[in-house]
Amino acid sequence: MSFLQVLPAPGLHDEARERVQATIERLKLNDKECIAAREMYYAAYLDGGLTLEWLREWSPFVAREVVRQGLARLP
CA distance 54 to 57: 5
Residue 46 has pLDDT above 80, yes or no: yes
Per-residue model confidence (pLDDT) at position 32? 94
How do residues 2-41 score in pLDDT, each as one tens digit? 668 999 999 999 999 999 999 999 999 999 999 999 999 9
pLDDT at 35: 94
At residue 57, does pLDDT exceed 80?
yes
Domain layout of the chain by residue ranges: 2-68
H helices of the chain, in order, are 14-26, 32-46, 52-58, 60-68
State the Cα–Cα distance between residues 74 and 16, nearest whole angstrom.
36
Residue 15 is predicted with a pLDDT of 97
